[in-house]
Homo-oligomer: A and B are copies of this chain.
Amino acid sequence: MVDTQNIVFLGLGLISGSLAMALRRSGWQGELSAWGPREPSLEQGLNLGVIDRYDLDFDRAIENADVLVIGAPPMATGELLGRVLGWIQRSDEQPIVTDLASMKGWVVERALPRYARFVPGHPIAGSENSGVTAARPDLFDGREAILTPEDSTDPEAVAWVTAMWQRAGSRVTTMSVADHDAALAASSHLPHMLAYALTKVLADDPLQPMHHGGGALRDMTRIAASDPVMWRDVALTNRSALIAAMQSVEQELARLRELIAAQDSAALEDYFALCRSIRRGHDAVLNPMVEPDEVSAKGVSDQTLEEQGSS
C-alpha cells in the first residue's frame, strides 16, 4: 500500500484518534486531518499531535481526501455516511470510505447512494473512556478489525482498508454483515448490557454492595462507564440481535439459578469447570498483547480461592 494518501477523519474521538496515532507510529507519510462538529476536540487532537490539521467546513475538509474514515457514534455515522456519499455522487472524487461503527447492518442500509468504494469496518477495541484525549497508538495491537464488504464492494478498496488496519496493529477478518451483527451482539453489546444491569442493581441495593467490591466487580462493571450516547445508539441500531442475545443470557441465568436452587452440586461443578476451560481456551484472543503492568492490574479478583481437597 502507498502510505502517502491523505486520510480525513470525520469525527475525532477515542477510536479515530487512536487509528491516527497508530498510523503515525507506523511511519505514515500522508496527511492525517479531521473534521468534526466541535472545535475543542479537534484542537485537542491537533495539540496532542494526533492530527496534522483540522477544518470545520465539511466540504473543504473532505475535498482532497484519498480516504475518509467516519468516526462517530452509530446515529451520527449514519448521517455522515449519507452526507459523504451524496457529496461523492456530486463530485468527481472517488475516495475510499470506511467507518468504525459497532454494528454493520444499520450502517450499510444507510450507505446511500450505493458506492462501491465504501468498506464497512469495525475494530474490536475500545475503552470506557471516550474522546480524543483517551486515544492511544497501541489500542489496536493484536486486536481484530472486522470488515463486512459485499459482493459489489471494490476489492482494491477492501485491500486498502485491510492494509490500513494491519499497519495500525490489527489482524483483519471479513464476514457477512448479518454474522457480524449477531456475533458482536453476543461478544460485545451483550456484555455491556450485563455490566449496565449489574451496576444498576447494585446501586439500587440499600446495602451498597459496590462499596464491598474487589477485582471481580471492578472488571464486571468497568464498561458501565462507557459513553452513554454511543451505547444508546448501539442498543437501538443492533436492536434485534441484541434482544436475542439478552434473552439467551436471561434464560441461561435462570437455568444456572435453578441448578443452585436444586443444590445440584455435580452439575454446578461441571458447569463452572466447563466455563474455566472455555475461558482459558480463549485467553490468547482476549489478551492479545498484555503488558506487564496490565497483568498485575488484571490479575486480582475478589474470590477467596484456596487450595481444595481438604475433605
Chain A residues packing against B (C-beta within 8 Å): 10-16, 36-38, 41, 71-73, 75-77, 79-80, 100-102, 122-132, 139, 143-144, 146, 179, 182-184, 186-188, 190-203, 205, 207-232, 234-236, 239, 242-243, 245-250, 252-254, 256-257, 260-261, 263, 265, 268-276, 278-280, 282-283, 285-287, 298-311
Contact = CB atoms under 8 A, between A and B. Distances in A.
Contacts of A261: 239, 243
Given A123-B304, A210-B278, A243-B260, 4 more contacts: A196-B271, A220-B220, A232-B265, A249-B253
A8 B246 CA distance: 47
Given A123-B304, A256-B246, A310-B72, A226 B184 contact: no
B301 A224 contact: no
A305 B144 contact: no
A302 B127 CA distance: 7
A243 B253 CA distance: 10
Nearest to A272: B228
B183 A208 contact: yes
A308 B132 CA distance: 11
25 contacts: A16-B306, A37-B309, A100-B306, A124-B212, A125-B300, A126-B214, A126-B216, A183-B205, A183-B208, A183-B212, A186-B209, A188-B214, A190-B198, A190-B201, A199-B278, A200-B275, A211-B282, A225-B280, A226-B272, A227-B276, A231-B268, A232-B265, A239-B261, A250-B253, A253-B253
B126 A215 contact: yes
B227 A219 contact: no
A126 B304 contact: yes
A207 B223 contact: no
Give the 9 A-B residue pairs with the shortest CB-CB distance, closest first: A13-B307, A76-B310, A187-B209, A228-B272, A13-B306, A126-B303, A186-B209, A218-B286, A191-B220
Nearest to A246: B257
B279 A221 contact: yes
Nearest to A283: B225
B198 A191 contact: yes
Contacts of A188: 212-214, 216-217, 302-303
A225 B13 CA distance: 34
A58 B212 CA distance: 34
A263 to B, nearest CB: 6
